[in-house]
Structure 1
């Protein structure tokens, strides 16, 4: 009898625990203008995927779920942004996919843009992938073409390794994780050091970084200011303190995780696409001169990584830096859509 009573108590405790966790839900109405510290206006209606994660924290992922603008082809394309980017920065490529008949899903990852900025959170690419899986499962999407850029490319690669049955095609665009930064000699910094650098970000600092890395050797276009100001809004917004700490933790995640050695196990068709002049290497700024000279050579390491992946294609866009989807949109869209439609 006592055993049955104990089982009943444990069952009751389990029910109470589960009922206390906020259920996964999609919010489509009454979205605040200043959503999680960002009041930057997105092109399409923003929805929220609300869920519980890490000790029952209620978190929100902002996303846009957009119907094709022509006859649907039955395919879904999911786009994942990089560190100094948001889901809206995919707008030009999203439009091209919509015009080709794709349902398009653009997501803001946790810690970024219009999504939650938890200060007590373990950022891992596995965890971020699990968040994306939860969103896709909740909205009923079970197979996708997954396109990730920079930090989002690292997330996309990890997602494809964890959930290969969901990813039909994978596009890694100037994806972090193709180079092992600490393994190449970049010193591992204290997180407070990275936080101090994040707190220095303003229009001038962000524009200078983007000019040198995203558009090296290219003229600065007024349209690029849109994306700088999108970040300025967050760095100076209602959750600036939380945002800068999340960004410091996110840099730590890039430096403490690797994915490049697992990429040869990818089974789906994979496109590795880079800007030929991409110089980005996380932590390069605080590395010794000798290390700075040997990292960030995308035209060398990216094709070598692509060669290790079965059923992969490598594309390099001449004259472009870390953000060819912005600086050479027409060629970028032609390359990605051309590859996707033939694979």
Structure 2
């Protein structure tokens, strides 16, 4: 059921920064990252969601950045991953706007600077609805899409809902290329919350470095730091509850079976060492062997789409736009220009 949306934009108090995508933040950061600087100004779109049988008004935060060179009339929509706020797109936004593209980068509800709603079940269809509502509000009829990690599950629903409004789709380090339900046990939110709270910075750093196939932990330090800053706030229990709702969605709402129906020109951008596999740690030893690398899954799936190719970045992992930004941005710009 489509939810009513209050289509008015507000300016969110956030100071843009001219340097790196992540600046020094306060010791404690609340659940909606107030005071945590993004690389470009942030606005919000009020939306209404359903939670615990009630309708709740909240906000969708986003960056809308104009071209910094001669405008080419095209817009690129950036969809973030699960462990990351939209602010991590700073370098990518700079590269795209320098090439003449307008860029829109939202934080989905329960992520980044967007509102968080306790008891709201995460749905990729609803993420797609909110994103289309944002583009409608911004009077953007058509966009190219660059999605990262979990963002590709939302992108799949987004494209299939309105394929005529999507030019090209870049599926970057996608999760959701296989159905995790047969391989992993159902998620116990309370147990997951306890595990998240018990996990310190060192364990989190080690987990991401290994599962993301990173050569070093350097590129994830901003995310490790941010997580510790949120843990230092009184919002941490609330943050964990709303964050973990997306883990349930990733397992229980697969998109792999629908990806072959994507009709638009598609490019998979994957790192050769990326081993991101949601739920693998909880799988049996026999089922762990059935998980495949992201590159293997993309190469197997691409031929089933009407028009898809795979570009593998040798020696790179789950965060190519931070590990090797020059090569990544060249690949994206070349794809968009074809």
What TM-score does the superposition give when structure 1 sets the normalisation length? 0.87
> Which residue of structure 1 lines up, in the alignment, with residue 292 of structure 2?
296
Matched residue of 1:60: which SS? strand
Is 1:270 the counterpart of 2:269? The answer is no
> Which residue of structure 2 lines up, in the alignment, with residue 335 of structure 1?
331
> Which residue of structure 2 lines up, in the alignment, with residue 9 of structure 1?
none
Deviation, 1:31, is: 5.6
Report if aligned partners of 2:31, 2:236 keep a CA contact under 8 Å in 1.
no
C-alpha distance 275-233 of structure 1, shift in aligned 2 (>3 A): same
C-alpha distance 298-36 of structure 1, shift in aligned 2 (>3 A): closer
Q: How many residues align?
A: 320
Greater CA drift, 204-213 or 229-238:
229-238
Select the residue among 35, 44, 54 that pairs with 2:40: 44
> Which residue of structure 2 lines up, in the alignment, with residue 322 of structure 1?
318
RMSD between superposed Cα atoms in Å: 2.1
Matched residue of 1:142: which SS? coil
C-alpha distance 201-112 of structure 1, shift in aligned 2 (>3 A): farther
Deviation, 1:293, is: 2.3
Is 1:182 the counterpart of 2:177? The answer is no
Report if aligned partners of 1:113, 1:234 keep a CA contact under 8 Å in 2.
no
Report if aligned partners of 2:14, 2:36 keep a CA contact under 8 Å in 1.
no
Greater CA drift, 34-43 or 262-271:
34-43
> Distance between the aligned counterparts of 1:235 and 1:146, measured in 2?
32
Structure 2 gap ranges (5+): 16-25
Is 1:309 the counterpart of 2:305? The answer is yes
Report if aligned partners of 1:198, 1:247 keep a CA contact under 8 Å in 2.
no
Report if aligned partners of 1:24, 1:52 keep a CA contact under 8 Å in 2.
no
Deviation, 1:29, is: 5.3
Report if aligned partners of 1:37, 1:237 keep a CA contact under 8 Å in 2.
no
Summarize the alignment of residues 7-26 of structure 1 with structure 2, pairs less than 5 Å apart. 23-26=6-9
Deviation, 1:191, is: 2.0
Q: Answer 1 or 2: which has greater helix percent.
A: 1
Summarize the alignment of residues 165-176 of structure 1 with structure 2, pairs less than 5 Å apart. 165-176=164-175
> Distance between the aligned counterparts of 1:241 and 1:152, measured in 2?
24
Q: Deviations over 1:46-90 (max 9, x none)?
A: 111112222331111111111111111101011011011111111
C-alpha distance 219-323 of structure 1, shift in aligned 2 (>3 A): same
Q: Deviations over 1:141-195 (max 9, x none)?
A: 1210111101111111111111212211111111111111123x22223222222
C-alpha distance 189-56 of structure 1, shift in aligned 2 (>3 A): closer
> Distance between the aligned counterparts of 2:187 and 2:222, measured in 1?
31
What TM-score does the superposition give when structure 2 sets the normalisation length? 0.89
Report if aligned partners of 1:81, 1:151 keep a CA contact under 8 Å in 2.
yes
Is 1:28 the counterpart of 2:26? The answer is no
Q: Deviations over 1:200-241 (max 9, x none)?
A: 34422321222112343x1333x5422322333334335322
Deviation, 1:30, is: 4.5
Matched residue of 1:40: which SS? coil
> Distance between the aligned counterparts of 1:36 and 1:187, measured in 2?
28
> Distance between the aligned counterparts of 2:49 and 2:103, measured in 1?
25
Deviation, 1:112, is: 0.9
Report if aligned partners of 2:10, 2:45 keep a CA contact under 8 Å in 1.
yes
C-alpha distance 321-196 of structure 1, shift in aligned 2 (>3 A): same
> Distance between the aligned counterparts of 1:224 and 1:189, measured in 2?
25
Matched residue of 2:46: which SS? strand
> Distance between the aligned counterparts of 2:6 and 2:97, measured in 1?
31
Select the residue among 200, 216, 219 that pairs with 1:219: 216
Summarize the alignment of residues 92-241 of structure 1 with structure 2, pairs less than 5 Å apart. 92-183=91-182, 185-216=183-214, 218-221=215-218, 224-241=220-237
Report if aligned partners of 2:149, 2:175 keep a CA contact under 8 Å in 1.
yes
> Distance between the aligned counterparts of 1:307 and 1:61, measured in 2?
35
Structure 1 gap ranges (5+): 1-17
Matched residue of 1:73: which SS? coil
Report if aligned partners of 2:31, 2:238 keep a CA contact under 8 Å in 1.
no
Deviation, 1:22, is: 7.5
